[in-house]
Structure 1
Amino acid sequence: MFLSDVLDQTIKKCKAQLANMLTLANLTLGGFAILFCLNDHLDLSLLLIFLAALADRFDGIVARKLNIETDLGKQLDSMSDIISFGVAPALLIYQGILSEFGAPGAFFTIFYIGCGAFRLARFNISENNGYFTGLPITAAGCLATLSFFAIPYIPAPFFLFMMIILSFSMISPFKLRKI
């Protein structure tokens, strides 16, 4: 009887942390994406950002399905998102093309990260009423990452303009219905 009680408690504890483990997988993949980007492995960085997006998608689903949503999980998710969909995509696009612009390229790379952090902070203190205010950082990060494929085909100024648009879209007041 004792062993089964211990096993039941262990399973409950693991189940309660499953969403956080997926969130930490998101953070880990984003962290590795940054490291690979810094070492000029941009294609691998791109792949890791998209894998982080999958982990991010499933952490929320698991938390809701298992009814284990917590304030800690919400904060951890935002901290992971700034790494995986703020810093990692910004660095990928900077390394891929924006570095050619010198100071403006660097400025708008950092501006994107700052807007993403602002967007996440605003999300964390707002009521979730079925809508997002501004473009979610996950969507902005995935769009920036996806644009990496177009670097050989589109003039470089497009990417500077795109980062500006994504930045302002994250902090804008427009509403998007959650899906």
Structure 2
Amino acid sequence: MFLLDVFDQTIKKLKAQSANALTLTNLTLGGFAIIEGINGNLNLSLLLIFIAAFIDRLDGMVARKFNIESELGKQLDSMSDIISFGVAPALLLYQGILFEFGAPGAFFTVLYIACGAVRLSRFNISETIGYFTGLPITAAGCLATLSYLVIPYYPPQLFIFIITILSILMISPFKIKKI
């Protein structure tokens, strides 16, 4: 009987930490995407960002399925998201094209990261149920990352426009229904 209780408690603890483990996997992938971007491996950086997005989607589903949503998990998710969908995609675009603009390219790169941080902070203190206010950083990060794929086909100025629009959309007041 004792071993059964210990086993049951262990399973409960593992379930309780499963979403946080996925969230930390998201953060780890974002961290490696940044490192690979710095090292010039931009295609690998892109792949890691998209895998992080998949893991980010899973962590929320696991938290809801096991009913283990917590304030710690919410904060940890935001810290992971700023790395994986704020810094990593911004660096990818900077390394891929925005560096050509010098200081303005750096400014718009940092603006995107700052707007992502504001968007996540606003999300963490709001009580919105059923909708997001502004474009979620995961979506913005995936769109920024996708835009990297078309760099050879469009003029460099388009990417200043893209990163600026994504920045504004993240902090805008419009509402998006949660899926």
- Alignment identity in percent? 75
Aligned to 1:45: 45
Give the TM-score normalised by the residue count of structure 1. Answer: 0.99
Determine helix, strand or coil for the equivalent of 2:152. coil
**1:148 alignment partner in structure 2:** 148
Residue 69 of structure 1 aligns to a residue whose secondary structure is coil
The SS at the match of 2:176 is strand
Alignment of 1:8-157 (within 5 A): 8-157=8-157
- The one-letter amino acid paired with 1:44 is L
Residue identity matched to 1:43: N
Cα distance in 2 for residues equivalent to 1:5 and 1:123: 39
Counterparts of 2:45 and 2:112 in 1: how far apart (Å)?
A: 18
- Runs of 5+ in structure 2 lacking a partner? none
Greater Cα shift, 154-163 or 1-10 = 1-10
Cα displacement (A) at 1:25: 0.5
Higher mean alpha-carbon deviation, 101-110 vs 4-13, is at 4-13
Aligned-pair Cα RMSD in Å:
0.6
The count of corresponding residues between Structure 1 and Structure 2 is: 179
User: What does residue 178 of structure 1 align with?
Assistant: 178
Q: Gaps (5+ residues) in structure 1?
A: none
Q: Which amino acid aligns with 2:13?
A: K
1:71 counterpart letter in structure 2: E
TM-score (norm: length of structure 2): 0.99
Q: Alpha-carbon deviation of 1:128?
A: 2.1
Which segment drifts farther, 43-52 or 2-11?
2-11
